[in-house]
Amino acid sequence: MKVFMIAGEPSGDRLGAALMEGLKTLRPDVEFMGIGGVAMEEQGLTSRFPMSELSIMGIAEVAPKYFHLKRRIRETAEAVVAADPDVLITIDSPDFCLRVARIVKEEEVEGQTFGHDIPIVHYVAPSVWAWRPKRAAKMARWVDHVLALLPFEPPYMQAAGMGCDFVGHPVVAEPQADDAAAQAFRDARGISDAPLLLVLPGSRKGEVSRLAERFGEVIAHAKRAKPDLQVVLPMAQGVEDLVRELTAKWSVSPILIPAAQQDDKRAAFKAADVALAASGTVSLELAAAHTPMVIAYDMNWLSRFLIGRMLKIDTVTLVNLVSDTRSIPEFLGKDCTPDRITPALLAVLDAPEAQNEAMRVTMERLGKGGEAPGLRAARSVLGAIG
């Protein structure tokens, strides 16, 4: 069995790796090819080019890379057709992945129509419930089946004409540190019983560049209110040098955890009293670790303006959406300022229990306690391709 996979960012890389593990369990003869990151490479994928080339978000951010990305789209589509896999699995990153899918399904080159017989499965349903609802119908022209991470998504995909299964979110199966590991983390760094702030400024260079100064100001304000406050920052793959450069300007020096030290990262999540995080999947990681949080995010002004006009929901934080609450404070766009974020952060630090129920419900609804999402996703893929 040959499977061509495409992931464009770290969260997709983790999804891909779990799916690969599930496929290997169900089909030991499986062979993988495509594009991915470290986690997928550990499962046996040799990436055709560095996944980091695709880790770009925002309309204005993509524009300068347009011609390079267009070339990579073409190269990847040609590689899919040449490989003639049993299935093409595209993982999130719709601006790249769905363009590849369109070429594979529709384009005619030298009288040959590319790959009509290649089933295409897309992992992570587009958030049509949040903005751009017409994307589902457009996507259905090229995608046969969707693997949904959130329980309320399948009806949107099915209404557009695609098969769709809720397969659970992989965060529910990820290992978590226990209390002993958290205490050992604190003891090893001399934190003792001091309040510990976990800072997560994003996994993309644009995010880190845009949020680092503001997060540093929030920390400075919080430190004045809580003089014994300690700060820890697990760094994401591909942005470590940038994080070191920008945090060196902060008035409070954080404990930096390299991306490779995953055990320390998990221990930091468990040990923290509160987190300040960029918007994204990380809110679910924090909920899995039972770490109270405040979410803050901003984009290029043009991206902020365009996306803001299309947004259909009043929160983008996944814990709020899945739990159907608004328990997690979030500060987006023009509200992403230190003077707004700091009071909310201090309030959560003083009353963290206010988020307990929302985090519990989120993990339950995402499939905690059931079959591993990677294995459920693998079953869905095999069922979709017969």
Q: What is the pLDDT of residues 197-254, one digit of tens each?
A: 999 999 889 899 999 999 999 999 999 999 999 999 999 988 999 999 999 999 999 9
Higher pLDDT, 311 or 20: 20
- Counting residues of the chain whose pLDDT is more than 70, the rounded percentage is 90
Distance between terminal CA atoms of the chain?
12
| Cα gap 361→325, rounded to integer Å | 10
- The answer to whether residue 304 scores a pLDDT higher than 60 is no
| Cα gap 374→384, rounded to integer Å | 15
Residue 126: the pLDDT is: 82
Residue 297: the pLDDT is: 93
- The answer to whether residue 375 scores a pLDDT higher than 60 is yes
| Cα gap 161→278, rounded to integer Å | 34
- The answer to whether residue 129 scores a pLDDT higher than 80 is no
Residue in this structure with the two tokens 């259909």, named with its chain if needed: 312
Can you list the positions of beta strands (E) in the chain?
Answer: 2-7, 31-35, 87-91, 108-109, 112-113, 120-123, 145-148, 163-166, 196-200, 230-234, 255-257, 274-278, 293-297, 330-332
Residue 133: the pLDDT is: 72
Cβ-count burial of 375 within 10 angstroms (0-12 exposed, 13-18 middle, 19+ buried)?
buried
**Out of 25-29, 205-209, 306-310, which region has the weakest mean confidence (pLDDT)?**
306-310
Confidence of residue 59 (pLDDT cuts 50, 70, 90): very low
Q: Which residues touch 112 (CB under 8 Å, ≥6 apart)?
A: none
Residue in this structure with the two tokens 């992945």, named with its chain if needed: 97
- The answer to whether residue 132 scores a pLDDT higher than 70 is no
Confidence of residue 58 (pLDDT cuts 50, 70, 90): very low
In this structure, which long-range contacts are made by residues 347-352, counting pairs with CB atoms below 8 Å and at least 24 apart in sequence?
Answer: 348/274, 348/292, 348/293, 348/294, 349/195, 349/197, 349/222, 349/226, 349/273, 349/274, 349/292, 352/273, 352/274, 352/292
Mean pLDDT of the chain: 90
- The answer to whether residue 180 scores a pLDDT higher than 80 is yes
Helix, strand or coil for residue 81? helix
Residue 106: the pLDDT is: 81
- The answer to whether residue 311 scores a pLDDT higher than 70 is no
Residue 11: the pLDDT is: 82
Residue 217: the pLDDT is: 98
Length of the chain measured in residues: 386
Residue 95: the pLDDT is: 83
- The answer to whether residue 314 scores a pLDDT higher than 80 is no
Kindly state the average pLDDT of the residues 63-91: 89
Helix, strand or coil for residue 114? coil
